[in-house]
């Protein structure tokens, strides 16, 4: 039988079960209010062509990359490395991972799939995988995603035997039916991040647990109509009239947003999110901007999250007006959403863009260079931004893990790419505007194509996607053989019930998880190290040796503690070295024990001989005395 994750002790209480039932109702309400997608998305502006008809688009994408394959990112260790263009299968780490996964899944012919910006297996017969790689799309998708799959030999399917899923979140029953090789682009329950009201509630709960100073990145927020009285009272107590930005609870692309200075003008039953407007934003050339940051979560248990190092800065088309009240109706001065500003009459054609800069977008790299030229300590600023990202995900990881335990059979079934929208004020303090659970990957500029094509290739290489024989997997099921007997399955499943006591002791601080690593522990550490080695343009934010100060905000979850202890003691990329040392030590102890064991009979015989001789000697002495 398939092994399911152990439910934490506290989750067994009636109180937690009641909360989970309420959360399920909230999720259904959220899905209902958001329509078919069921999540707060930042969808592509127009329907994409079908996979089989966009060859020309793919060729244009690659041509537009030009010299982009020579672009470098800052390495986490301070050096530089090529983020795109280097073939992943040439890396020793990728080759080791491929051998390991092939051996683990040999019963179903599992094989690791490499993704590339350069090579196309459709044009290289010898590179074609033994088993086909299938993808399924249900909802919005982008050329950069589909083309990455196609170059890897992917074939689109509408059936159930897919390797990767892109689009809407699955329904609860669909999550439960996933097999060990399937990857879904959403975790269950991430509406806690994507819905503006749910995000605000999660951060309020985080502050309640850890103190108001624990999260200083969210503008003062009111949920209307629940907080209407508090909103009106706070507004009246302000020395000067404050401007508020009013947003629908679940929307994207700037739809339904307005500025108001008199919150009492809101309808008493109006359902919306109201925030204090950031009226002193940092300006560049007199224009307001925000940052679209791409954050990848490959796992929530343990939490592993990465920031892509070259996101976007998005600008308003018109210069900012400090008289917010007088210009509140001119959204081209106040909203940075690209989908809003590209409709402006003065919007320049994409041919006018210059390298890292577009009339409405800059690369994050160009933004940092500009700020540094103005004397800004960008290292300090972006340390705060990274702190914002990690704490936002820590605020929801407990509730999402509860959904994972209920619905998802294998640890590695889900991943998710989030779009964090962050704004800097004039004091260089970062503010969280919103989180998109399905950020647009449409590329209508050369800058978009350069960033997004490289990003999705790096993302898919990190995930360890495998082809497999559907026929052999089906045969295993039809013979009713336990999938737990499949090595690949046991590696991906969660801890067995027999480990529960040990894990509870670790979570209570009574035991160090490194004292006796289990096979599953080693597998989780290895996955973590492999992801870091294959991260390309992604920087791992959590876990990391520098995330010590964030651990007090973590729930005491076993796998998080395992990685925290491991990084404290050994750092990154240490598993093989540590295991080799342990094996050598164990071998030495075993040889010593064997040596002792083999010499024991000899020592025993010598002891018996001494006893016999002693007896013989004493007997001879007695006889001699008698003779005398």
Which residues lie below 8 Å from residue 236, measured CB to CB, with a gap of 6+?
Answer: none
Greatest mean pLDDT range, 150-159, 266-275, 354-363, 422-431: 422-431
Look up residue 449 and give its two tokens: 């194509």
Look up residue 153 and give its two tokens: 């030999």
d(CA 196, CA 437): 11
Q: What is the pLDDT of residue 552?
A: 85
Point out which residues pair with 184 in neighbouring strands. Answer: 165, 414
Kindly report which listed range (51-65, 142-156, 315-329) carries the lowest average pLDDT score: 51-65
H or E element in which residue 151 lies = helix 143-151
What is the DSSP-derived secondary structure letter of residue 84? S
Q: Rounded to whole angstroms, what are the CA distances from 63 to 118, 152, 350, 447, 549?
A: 11, 18, 16, 13, 45
**Which tops the pLDDT comparison, 589 or 184?**
184
Strand, coil or helix: 134? strand
Question: Does residue 494 register a pLDDT over 70?
Answer: no
Q: What is the pLDDT of residue 68?
A: 40
Q: Rounded to whole angstroms, what are the CA distances from 299 to 194, 304, 305?
A: 17, 5, 7
Q: What is the pLDDT of residue 54?
A: 47
Strand, coil or helix: 417? strand
Strand (E) positions, 236-391?
244-247, 258-260, 272-276, 283-284, 287-300, 303-308, 312-315, 361-363
Question: Does residue 75 register a pLDDT over 60?
Answer: no
Which residues lie below 8 Å from residue 215, measured CB to CB, with a gap of 6+?
Answer: 203, 206, 207, 391, 395
Q: What average pLDDT does the segment 560-584 reach? A: 84
Share of the chain above pLDDT 70, in %: 68
**Which tops the pLDDT comparison, 9 or 143?**
143
| Residues 45-79 as b or e (16 or more Cβ within 10 Å = b) | eeebeebeebeebbeebbebbeebbebebbebeee
H or E element in which residue 80 lies = strand 80-82
CA dihedral sign of residues 259, 263, 267, 268: positive
Greatest mean pLDDT range, 97-106, 340-349, 460-469: 460-469
Report the candidate in 288, 583, 339, 545 with the shortest Cα–Cα distance to residue 448. Answer: 339
CB of 218 closer than 8 Å to CB of 395: no
d(CA 491, CA 522): 10
Measured over all CA atoms, what is the biggest interatomic distance in the chain, rounded to whole angstroms?
134
366-384 per-position pLDDT tens digit: 999 999 999 999 999 999 9
Please, which pLDDT band fits residue 69 given cuts at 50, 70 and 90?
very low
CB of 421 closer than 8 Å to CB of 433: yes
pTM of the entire predicted model:
0.80
Report the candidate in 130, 192, 207 with the shortest Cα–Cα distance to residue 399. Answer: 192
The CA-based dihedral angle spanning residues 492, 493, 495, 496, taken in that order and rounded to the nearest 10 degrees = -140
Report the candidate in 553, 436, 420, 402 with the shortest Cα–Cα distance to residue 26. Answer: 402
CB atoms within 10 A of CB 249: 20
Q: What average pLDDT does the segment 258-272 reach? A: 86
Q: Rounded to whole angstroms, what are the CA distances from 367 to 288, 292, 509, 512?
A: 13, 12, 44, 44
Please, which pLDDT band fits residue 279 given cuts at 50, 70 and 90?
confident
Look up residue 243 and give its two tokens: 């401007």
The CA-based dihedral angle spanning residues 56, 57, 58, 60, taken in that order and rounded to the nearest 10 degrees = 90
**Which tops the pLDDT comparison, 258 or 584?**
258
Report the candidate in 406, 441, 460 with the shortest Cα–Cα distance to residue 164. Answer: 460
φ/ψ region of 418 (left if φ > 0, alpha if ψ in -120 to 50, else beta) reads beta
Q: What is the pLDDT of residue 45?
A: 40
Pairing mode of beta strands 154-156, 133-138: parallel
d(CA 252, CA 277): 18
Q: At residue 420, what are phi and psi to the nearest 5 degrees?
A: -90, 125
- DSSP per residue over 109-131, as a string? T-EEPP--SS--GGG-GGGS-SS
Which residue is it, tokens 């002891």?
Answer: 607
Q: What is the pLDDT of residue 613?
A: 59
231-257 per-position pLDDT tens digit: 999 988 886 678 898 988 866 555 678
d(CA 628, CA 615): 20
Please, which pLDDT band fits residue 55 given cuts at 50, 70 and 90?
very low
Greatest mean pLDDT range, 68-77, 327-336, 534-543: 534-543
Report the candidate in 200, 306, 209 with the shortest Cα–Cα distance to residue 542. Answer: 306
φ/ψ region of 620 (left if φ > 0, alpha if ψ in -120 to 50, else beta) reads alpha
Kindly report which listed range (14-23, 33-42, 362-371, 471-480) carries the lowest average pLDDT score: 14-23
CB of 276 closer than 8 Å to CB of 290: no
Q: What is the pLDDT of residue 268?
A: 86
d(CA 420, CA 435): 5
Which residues lie below 8 Å from residue 542, measured CB to CB, with a gap of 6+?
Answer: 303, 304, 305, 390, 393, 550
């Amino acid at each position: 039988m398939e092994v399911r994750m152990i439910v934490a002790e506290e989750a067994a209480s009636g109180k937690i079960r009641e909360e989970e039932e309420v959360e399920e109702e909230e999720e259904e309400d959220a899905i209902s209010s958001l329509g078919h997608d069921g999540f707060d998305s930042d969808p592509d502006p127009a329907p994409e062509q079908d996979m089989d008809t966009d060859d020309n688009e793919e060729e244009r994408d690659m041509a537009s990359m030009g010299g982009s394959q020579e672009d470098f990112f800052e390495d986490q260790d301070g050096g530089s490395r090529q983020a795109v263009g280097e073939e992943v299968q040439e890396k020793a780490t990728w080759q080791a991972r491929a051998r390991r996964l092939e051996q683990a899944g040999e019963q179903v012919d599992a094989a690791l799939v490499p993704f590339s910006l350069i090579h196309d297996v459709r044009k290289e017969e010898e590179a074609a995988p033994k088993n086909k790689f299938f993808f399924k799309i249900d909802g919005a998708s982008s050329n950069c995603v589909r083309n990455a799959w196609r170059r890897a030999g992917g074939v689109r399917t509408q059936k159930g035997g897919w390797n990767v899923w892109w689009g809407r979140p699955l329904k609860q029953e669909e999550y439960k039916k996933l097999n060990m090789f399937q990857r879904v682009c959403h975790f269950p329950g991430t509406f806690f991040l994507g819905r503006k009201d749910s995000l605000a509630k999660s951060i309020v709960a985080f502050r309640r647990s850890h103190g108001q100073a624990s999260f200083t990145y969210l503008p003062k927020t009111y949920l209307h109509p629940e907080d209407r009285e508090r909103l009106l009272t706070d507004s009246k107590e302000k020395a000067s009239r404050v401007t508020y930005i009013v947003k629908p609870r679940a929307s994207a692309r700037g739809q339904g947003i307005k500025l108001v200075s008199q919150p009492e003008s809101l309808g008493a039953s109006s359902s919306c999110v109201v925030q204090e407007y950031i009226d002193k934003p940092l300006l560049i050339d007199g224009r307001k901007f925000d940052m679209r940051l791409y954050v990848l979560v490959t796992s929530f248990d343990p939490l592993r999250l990465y920031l892509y190092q070259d996101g976007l800065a998005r600008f308003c088309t018109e210069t900012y007006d400090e008289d917010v009240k007088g210009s509140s109706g001119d959204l081209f001065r106040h909203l940075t959403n690209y989908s809003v500003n590209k409709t402006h009459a003065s919007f320049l054609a994409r041919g006018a863009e210059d390298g890292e800069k577009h009339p409405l977008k800059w690369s994050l790299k160009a933004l940092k260079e500009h700020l540094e030229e103005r004397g800004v300590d960008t290292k300090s600023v972006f340390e705060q931004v990274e702190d914002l990202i990690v704490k936002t995900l820590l605020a929801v990881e407990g509730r999402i893990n509860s959904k994972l335990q209920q619905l998802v059979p294998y640890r590695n079934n889900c991943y998710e790419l989030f779009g964090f929208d962050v704004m800097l004020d004039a004091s260089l303090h970062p503010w969280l505007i919103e989180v998109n659970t399905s950020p647009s990957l449409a590329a209508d500029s050369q800058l978009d194509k350069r960033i997004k094509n490289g990003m999705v290739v790096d993302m898919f290489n990190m995930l360890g996607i495998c082809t497999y024989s559907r026929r052999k997997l089906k045969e295993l099921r039809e013979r009713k053989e336990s999938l737990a007997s499949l090595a690949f399955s046991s590696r991906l499943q969660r801890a067995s019930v027999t480990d529960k006591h040990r894990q509870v002791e670790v979570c209570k601080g009574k035991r160090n998880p490194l004292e006796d690593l289990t096979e599953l522990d080693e597998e989780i550490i290895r996955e973590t190290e492999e992801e870091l080695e294959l991260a390309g343009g992604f920087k791992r934010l959590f876990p990391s040796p520098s995330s010590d100060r964030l651990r007090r905000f973590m729930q005491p979850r076993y796998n998080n503690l395992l990685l925290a202890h491991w990084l404290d003691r050994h750092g990154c990329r240490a598993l093989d070295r540590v295991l080799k040392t342990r094996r050598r030590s164990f071998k030495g102890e075993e040889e010593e024990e064997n040596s002792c064991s083999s010499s024991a009979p000899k020592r025993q015989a010598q002891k018996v001989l001494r006893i016999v001789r002693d007896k013989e000697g004493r007997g001879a002495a007695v006889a001699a005395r008698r003779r005398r």
